[in-house]
Amino acid sequence: MDTTGNPTTTTPRLGRYTIDTNSSSITFKGRHLFGLMPVRGTFAIRGGTVDVAEPLSESRLRVEIDAASFSTGNDHRDGDVRSVKFLDTDRHPLITFVSERVDATSVSGTLTACGFTRPASLAVVRAEVHANSFTVHATTRVDRTEFGVTAARGMAGRRLDLTLEVTCVHT
């Protein structure tokens, strides 16, 4: 992670922040070939906002992920995952996360993918707060079958471990 400046406070100042999509990333790890081979890849964040409130539990966030940005570096696999068999990115171009509860160690809310909305929780691993921005490093695990993505059972792993590194800038 590349952040500049010295952290100034332990919590961000109140107000609206936008996600800096150029400085933010979502990486994932999964398994394929009957769970024998690891797969790593990325998704791109299309945009989002964070409203920091007092108390922190009143804060809200919304993140939009470009489903078609799924990339593992294998064009054939990436095309299959974007197809109607898996993510069906033509019909479902966005994956969204909307918070319902925020605290210093976790963010809980709903994740919507492939037309299915399910509860999801992010574990906050680290946060760095600066004068006009903050960066959060968080993790979660997603079970693709909960979102109707059931193709290639056995060949494609059921779960993805996601790592988010999100930088937010005060607007």
118-137 pLDDT tens trace: 999 999 999 999 999 999 99
User: For position 75, what pLDDT does the model report?
Assistant: 96
Q: What percent of the chain has pLDDT over 70?
A: 92
User: For position 16, what pLDDT does the model report?
Assistant: 98
pTM metric for this prediction: 0.89
Residue 147's nearest CA partner among 108, 112, 98 is 112
SS3 assignment, position 29: strand
Long-range contacts of 140-148 (CB under 8 A, 24+ apart): 140/164, 142/111, 144/86, 146/116, 146/118, 147/111, 147/113, 147/114, 147/116, 147/118, 148/114, 148/115, 148/116
User: For position 152, what pLDDT does the model report?
Assistant: 72
Residue linked to tokens 């994740």: 111
Tokens matching residue 20: 């800096």
5 pLDDT tier (thresholds 50, 70, 90): very low
